Structure 1
């Protein structure tokens, strides 16, 4: 499902100040996998991402964790700007509906591999196992990409009659995945796994809201490895807490509820005049009767690069 229009609009406004999600993924494609007709677009993406690490080389796993950590922190800052304070909390563990879509031997190997790397691996190994980077392609790895693909397939089946719910929000395309509610549930879970590793290894880390306009990208590879902040206690990977959601006061009245897939959704209670956004007016309208901006996002990547990335975001 696409995030609510007000949140989408806030994301489009503020995420423009950071490295775009799709361009970051494209920049990590190894050069020998990039078609000649897509080299110019690939080189442009690498300039935007500054110092990308090819997804099949050491360091790619850590970069994966750190980049999406920044996205999660930016999201926690942006969310209250749209009147939401506790919606889209991370999965405490993989939801049952997603587990049922995975082969049992894969799921068992995945959960064991995560636990093993939190207990005794490096952050790069954990990230590499979660995204299948740097040679981590064994049984149980790649849950990130597999989950993206499976969620996309499942949503297409569930929303055949209402395809507008998926417009600009397909989970199988990094150009649009972060406009989907499930993106933040999945990546919140992954970020909490990373926080568990950091806590286990007494590494400083910060999961607090971060203004995306502050210029928070590391200047050189590895700069992000030493963030000076107090550790946030995080439980084991199978008993994760929700993210610190109430980042700022708002005038909305959040009512997080669970959808049929175990995800957290946000529903505004109707006001006395029939509005459902906590303000006077019609459903979904603001104080002056204007509806929030509707999604107008158009993918910026060259089709050849998008095809490579979508192939990675495929299920088993």
Structure 2
């Protein structure tokens, strides 16, 4: 049975500050070390400006050749940040008190083709190839199902670090799931906005814009929470496989008042009290958005490792 997010939760997630945080979190860490035709995506001066705004990723997720970095603990950042997002939403859901949707619950299994509750949306004419190729039945049977089996098998999980788990989940199954369940957005937000604009157009802040293949909007989509609930459950599998009980043994520490690596309050305080500090964080994100308005950016969710596990 499919249950949609309560309207109040969707409205909160559609707020501009949440959209900017999610798109910047993915975009900056994916592009920090990347090069395009031998030239860095971000120049030294751009990196310094991003650093000054508090958005330098301490653990970039991809190297200069856009290959996932499995051993620098950026995978832990991926798992921790999205677990915090789930905790944030669960706090809001408890306040809303909708008995039909009391908390985020992930998929028990990745839905197969023709699933009655979560069917794969059809391909649309303007869909890029990296989306089209992930929607086929063969992609599910040949790659996605194999990956699901791999990441739910104790023998495999016991042989990797938590950082390796997070990195492999992100680029081997998480990104393809975002693309596989993306629907035709109708009008899609331009990844690079017009040069005469100085910010992302506010029309993309409408709650109806919940395109799953764009990190500016993906978390507004109810599928996001089924998908990330599944991803989050793999942490628990990893702990059981490694006979770990109690709290998750994160090997890096984050300031609990900010999101990992980047400065945004993650507690409901952000929605309840727009104080000077919060407004400063939002203004800084707007400045970083301007810096990353570049044609050679890596599109978040498009980097996928489909090699043999």
How many positions carry a matched residue from both structures? 216
1:182 aligns with 2:223: yes
Match of 1:215 among 257, 282, 294: 257
Structure 2 match to 1:304: 294
Structure 1 match to 2:246: 204
Residue 128 of structure 1: CA displacement? 1.7
Structure 1 match to 2:190: none
Match of 1:147 among 153, 163, 177: 177
Unmatched runs of 5 consecutive residues or more in structure 1:
133-141, 207-213, 221-297
Residue 107 of structure 1: CA displacement? 2.8
- Normalising by structure 1, we get a TM-score of 0.55
Distance in 2 separating the partners of 1:193 and 1:117: 12
Residue 19 of structure 1: CA displacement? 8.7
Match of 1:76 among 86, 90, 98: 90
Distance in 1 separating the partners of 2:245 and 2:295: 35
- Normalising by structure 2, we get a TM-score of 0.56
Distance in 2 separating the partners of 1:42 and 1:314: 29
Q: How does 1:27-176 map to 2 (within 5 A)?
A: 27-28=28-29, 29-33=31-35, 35-36=41-42, 40=46, 43-44=49-50, 47-49=53-55, 51-56=57-62, 57=69, 58=71, 59-84=73-98, 85-86=101-102, 88-97=104-113, 100=137, 102-114=139-151, 115=153, 116-132=155-171, 142-152=172-182, 155-156=183-184, 167-176=208-217
Aligned-residue Cα RMSD (Å) equals: 4.2
Unmatched runs of 5 consecutive residues or more in structure 2:
63-68, 114-119, 121-135, 187-203, 249-255, 263-285
Distance in 1 separating the partners of 2:48 and 2:220: 23
Contact 2:215–2:300 (CA under 8 A) maintained in structure 1 = yes
